[in-house]
Amino acid sequence: MTSDYLLRNGTLVDGTGNPARTAHVLIQSDRLKVLSDDDVMTASDLEGVIQVDCTGKVVVPGFIDVHSHMDYFAISDNPEHFNPFVAQGVTTMVVGNCGFSPFGFKHGTQHQHLIENSLFKEGHGSIDWNSFSGYQQRIQSHGTSPNLLSLVGYGVCRTSLNGFNSGSLNQQQHEEMLTLLDEALAQGAAGVSLGLQYKPGVFANIGELKDVARLVKKHDKVLTVHAKAYSVLSGTYPMNPLGKAHNLRAIDEMLDLARETGVKLQFSHLIFVGEKTWPTLQQALDKFDRAIADGVDVRFDMFPYPFGATLLNTLLPEWVMAKMPGVLRQRLPMLRLRLEAYFGFKGVGLGYHCIQITDACCDEYRQYNGLFISEIAEKVGKEAFEVMVDILDFSNAEARVMIHRYYNEDIIQTLMQHPAALYMTDSWPEPSGIENAATYGAFPKFLQLARDNGSMALEQVIARMMSQAAQRFGIKQRGLIKDGYKGDVVVFDWNTVRDNTSRAACSARPTGIEHVFINGVHTINNGQVLSDQRNGDFLKATA
């Protein structure tokens, strides 16, 4: 049984974008009620109600992380995996991103080992369910700390039918793929996610993707896309320095897909990898603006750091991905890769000094977690290229990295202020590696940037984090402080809220997030995580 709470005298920013006002918020069971000074509560009304003085503090809806990878951590036996996210105010997460999800694959597939060893498969052993409903039942029986809403991954679906083969699906496989995705969408998945830089999404043809988009459109849900390229040059397209920038080409392909099919498109983590990609920022935003003006339903999401986490193998060209893993020890292909890496890094404005190993996923290099490849090369007396290939080989291409120079601070500010932007973490814990700062501080960082730069009103930032995110992904009765809505609430100090992470302290907790309630349960009290509180809901998306 949950307690009732009265949050008194706070500055209420309700998520609508309307001006802040002083009000009291009653959390009764798992529901909200907004009270003014004129709403008299007698002593008997307050009997048993825990009162929290919020004078000088801001009361807002719980933060919604629209791009998370906590799918499998949700069913791990370690409840602390979610603590860093809840401590920064996250009460709902959209999981199943970048083509990876814990369901949507063919029952009894011969390729299950590939699914069970994917990038985001930390925190749980073998998969013993095979559907959205099966995953839902597991979450409900296990319990989850924040609320979870899941997309279905196109990548795991395709893998279950054709492995990591680079060829097109045959007609039977194509139809079976659409059937599996359709089933997950009908059961409550929020949409379909594409991971077009990862295997097997990197091998997909546009006709296949159009059919997936039409299916998502039929369900009136969202198609999220980790695009094929985020830099001016990328191994996923032919290397032509005189051609269109690859990141702009990838944006055009997805916007054209949305124009043709009418699907609601969410462009995942709009980043600009490498200094020579940064000048394409305005061209990219112009493309989104024109599409929106033409009636295309498209938004993008972002994180507030100039670096982001991914797999080391995303740096490889498509021809290497198709021949993994044996190709890594073949002399002539590696000579070609060395040359392509040299000219590719030079053309993008990136280098081995920008690639930080967060988890080498192999005994040979695990001691160097947290170092950049250039630093590791100095320590082991090898060339940086050889270190990269070693780590890819020894880890079976599962090594995880943080790539720096995704943005500069001006780009972060520009993207934050764009009306199509939504906010997210794109993060997960590293049980045996170096943590991504976003795991601990992304949402406080967004607030800090808005306050310190004076670039956005508090009400505008909160609307992006909550109500607009909820509307985008079909999340009902959340994202607003409104009578009858679910009791997801954050109380923070606008004057002191701050992200405290750094390279030396990548897991530092934020300042200023004082109280968090999830479905009416007090989960963070004065900045401290309360005992194991698995009071989140598994949500189904509604069109």
Q: Encode pLDDT of 83-134 as tens digits.
A: 999 999 999 999 999 999 999 999 888 888 887 776 666 655 678 888 999 9
**Residue range 43-64: mean pLDDT, rounded:** 91
- Residue 273: pLDDT band with limits 50, 70, 90: very high
Say which DSSP state 168 is in: P
**Which has more pLDDT, 154 or 455?**
154
Say which DSSP state 96 is in: S
Report which residue type is found at 400: R
Q: pLDDT above 70 covers what percent of the chain?
A: 97
Position 14 scores a pLDDT of 98
Position 364 scores a pLDDT of 96
Give the Cα separation of 174 and 197 in Å (integer).
Answer: 20
**Residue range 469-489: mean pLDDT, rounded:** 97
The answer to whether the beta carbons of residues 377 and 387 sit under 8 Å apart is yes
Position 123 scores a pLDDT of 52
- Residue 398: pLDDT band with limits 50, 70, 90: confident
Q: What is the phi/psi pair of residue 142, to 5°?
A: -85, -35
pLDDT tens-digit readout, 308-320:
988 898 888 878 8
Position 323 scores a pLDDT of 83
Q: Which of 92-101, 164-173, 419-428, 435-444 has the lowest mean pLDDT?
A: 164-173
- How wide is the angle at C-alpha 508 spanned by C-alphas 410 and 412, nearest 5°? 10
Position 122 scores a pLDDT of 60
**Which has more pLDDT, 265 or 240?**
265
Position 125 scores a pLDDT of 60
pLDDT tens-digit readout, 359-372:
999 999 999 999 99
Position 371 scores a pLDDT of 96
- Using CA of residue 43, residue 45, residue 47, residue 50, what is the dihedral sign? negative
- Residue 44: pLDDT band with limits 50, 70, 90: low
Q: Is the peptide bond before 200 cis (omega within 30 degrees of 0)?
A: yes
Give the Cα separation of 127 and 121 in Å (integer).
Answer: 10
3 state SS of 110: coil
- Residue 432: pLDDT band with limits 50, 70, 90: confident
**Residue range 70-79: mean pLDDT, rounded:** 83
Position 531 scores a pLDDT of 67
- Residue 69: pLDDT band with limits 50, 70, 90: very high
Q: For all residues of the chain together, what is the average pLDDT?
A: 92
Q: pLDDT above 90 covers what percent of the chain?
A: 75
Q: Is residue 394's pLDDT more than 90? A: yes
Q: Is residue 379's pLDDT more than 90? A: yes
Position 178 scores a pLDDT of 98
**Residue range 160-177: mean pLDDT, rounded:** 93
Q: Which of 1-10, 124-133, 482-491, 534-543 has the lowest mean pLDDT?
A: 124-133
Torsion, CA 40, CA 43, CA 45, CA 47, rounded to 10? 150
Q: Is residue 9's pLDDT more than 90? A: yes
Position 1 scores a pLDDT of 54
Position 320 scores a pLDDT of 87
The answer to whether the beta carbons of residues 162 and 180 sit under 8 Å apart is no
pLDDT tens-digit readout, 333-345:
899 999 999 998 9
Position 412 scores a pLDDT of 97
Measuring CA to CA, which residue among 254, 350, 234 is closest to residue 300? 254
Position 259 scores a pLDDT of 98
Estimate to the nearest angstrom the gap between the alpha carbon of 266 and the chain centroid: 12
**Which has more pLDDT, 253 or 504?**
253
Position 121 scores a pLDDT of 62
Domains defined for the chain, CATH in brackets: 1-61+478-497+508-532 (2.30.40.10), 63-306+415-436 (3.20.20.140), 313-404 (no CATH)
Position 155 scores a pLDDT of 96
**Residue range 270-291: mean pLDDT, rounded:** 98
Give the Cα separation of 537 and 357 in Å (integer).
Answer: 34
Give the Cα separation of 272 and 129 in Å (integer).
Answer: 38
Position 468 scores a pLDDT of 98
